[in-house]
Structure 1
Amino acid sequence: MKLNEELAIASFVLLGDAELTHYAAEKLAAKIDFDFDYLVTMESKGIPLAQEVCHFLKKPRYVVLRKSIKDYMKVPISVPVNAITTSAQQQLVIDGNDAALLKGKKVVIIDDVISSGGSIAAAEKLLHKIEANVVARVAILAEGDAAKRSDIQFLQKLPLFKA
């Protein structure tokens, strides 16, 4: 999938693939062999993955960082985000109730693919802002240079391509 004149990526769409989500979640859950309180994911592809990983780890709840403020949110908190797969700047938003829940807690950020790291960095910034303690970052795939990072755990590498 061509992103610009120089860069293309392999398309990896987790949404709708229950079998792949279940399999990847089982493998990621096995890597999360340490103490933490909550999984945190970003809307939207991380949601089914977080759900399944919670199932394997017997965690009753996870938190979703949304891409926009929703009417139901009480005192929403947001940060801007730039990601390789999105051409326009977006935001990550957490509901004030979820922010209160995560304050002082150990959290694991979980996503389908880490590429440029923009989404993970924004999530970390937002979680730091609400005083949550990020103890790990996990993903199914690490794309391009993300595979060289020592601060993330992932199942497989995903190459970038010249357009």
Structure 2
Amino acid sequence: MDKLPRNERIATLVKLLSDSPGKIFTLGGFAEMFGSAKSTISEDIDIVGNILSKLDLGHVETISGALGGVRFIPSMSKDRAVRILEGLCAELCRKERLLPGGFIYMLDIIYNPEWIDDIGYIFAGHFFPKSIDYVVTVETKGIPLALATAKHLGVPLVIVRRNSEAAEGASVSINYVSGSSKKLQTMVLSLRSLKRNSRLLFVDDFMKGGGTAKGIAELAKEFECEVAGIGVLVETAEPNKKLVEEYFSLLLLQKVDEEAGVIDIKLSPNWSRI
């Protein structure tokens, strides 16, 4: 490979680092790749870090020691995150989204790559310090959001199912009580899905009573794993007390008035504590 000029090295570094969040790259590895001195690569990485921070696109962390190097960490300023979520609130509050029975149509948001990528990035930046090993969700509507979050954390996605599938081999099944309907439901997860003593992040699109999140915590115990974080796109104001205490929601659904054609969704109180 011919020696690359600095502008091309920097473009490549941005691509490599941002595509592999959390992965440690050594200066020696980059120096060999580009045919440049480590001191030159170090200067390049300083430039990359300054650019990413200035544009609010994440930051580059230097890790010292014999096994050290550099890694990209997803992060977003509170102001930028709030602007994104305020735009999402405005979109979700359109009365055209009201469905019979007081439900809100959200599928176009959940399956929109631009919205989901931004939301997943917000979750990834918030939970990155938790040293997450897996992102976990329950089929099906939470999958796009959980996948985007897993991508930005650089970790695998695990999908908990309602029924066992032969293709997944032996599995663990538990029963849990829904926090809203109080109905008994089932969760199933393949024995091969998780390594023991892993740290999990549960991501879901909606939380009412918190029964699903509590069920995930119980399922995690069967694998000797810990739910280190819970991320929810929208939580409801009622019931006020959920079945789980520690969770991070982005939006709060205060009320739906089907007769008046009103949907009241605001930023979650979480943002006042960040």
The normalised TM-score by structure 2 is 0.50
- State, as a whole percentage, how many aligned pairs show the same letter: 19
Match of 1:55 among 135, 146, 151: 151
Match of 1:158 among 243, 246, 253: 253
Cα offsets for 1:39-82 (capped at 9, x unmatched): 111111121112111221222x1111011110112221111244
Asked if residue 78 in structure 1 is aligned to residue 188 in structure 2, the reply is no
Matches of 2:217 and 2:201, distance apart in 1: 10
Amino acid of the structure 1 residue aligned with 2:124: A
Aligned partner of 1:42 in structure 2 is 138
Aligned partner of 2:206 in structure 1 is 113
Aligned partner of 2:104 in structure 1 is 10
Task: Give the C-alpha shift of residue 23 in structure 1.
Answer: 2.0
Cα offsets for 1:22-47 (capped at 9, x unmatched): 12112211211311211111111121
Matches of 2:239 and 2:116, distance apart in 1: 21
Cα offsets for 1:101-160 (capped at 9, x unmatched): 332111111111111111111111111122111111111112224676651001111124
Amino acid of the structure 1 residue aligned with 2:152: F
Matches of 1:28 and 1:96, distance apart in 2: 27
Matches of 1:140 and 1:147, distance apart in 2: 16
Aligned partner of 1:125 in structure 2 is 218
Matches of 1:102 and 1:9, distance apart in 2: 38
Indicate if the aligned counterparts of 1:114 and 1:146 stay in contact, CA closer than 8 A. Answer: no
C-alpha RMSD over aligned residues: 2.7
Task: Give the C-alpha shift of residue 11 in structure 1.
Answer: 4.0
Amino acid of the structure 2 residue aligned with 1:107: L
Other structure's SS at 1:103 match: coil
Other structure's SS at 2:192 match: helix
Q: Which runs of 5+ in 1 are unaligned?
A: none
Aligned partner of 2:27 in structure 1 is none
Q: Which runs of 5+ in 2 are unaligned?
A: 1-98, 259-274
Aligned partner of 1:140 in structure 2 is 233
Matches of 2:163 and 2:172, distance apart in 1: 10
Q: Relative to 1, partners in 2 of residues 1:69 and 1:121: Cα closer, same or farther, differing over 3 Å?
A: same
Asked if residue 19 in structure 1 is aligned to residue 96 in structure 2, the reply is no
> 15-24 vs 120-129, which deviates more?
15-24
Aligned partner of 1:32 in structure 2 is 127
Aligned partner of 2:13 in structure 1 is none
Q: Relative to 1, partners in 2 of residues 1:12 and 1:118: Cα closer, same or farther, differing over 3 Å?
A: farther
Structure holding more helix per residue:
2
Instruction: Give 1 or 2 for the bigger CA radius of gyration.
Output: 2
Matches of 1:42 and 1:25, distance apart in 2: 16
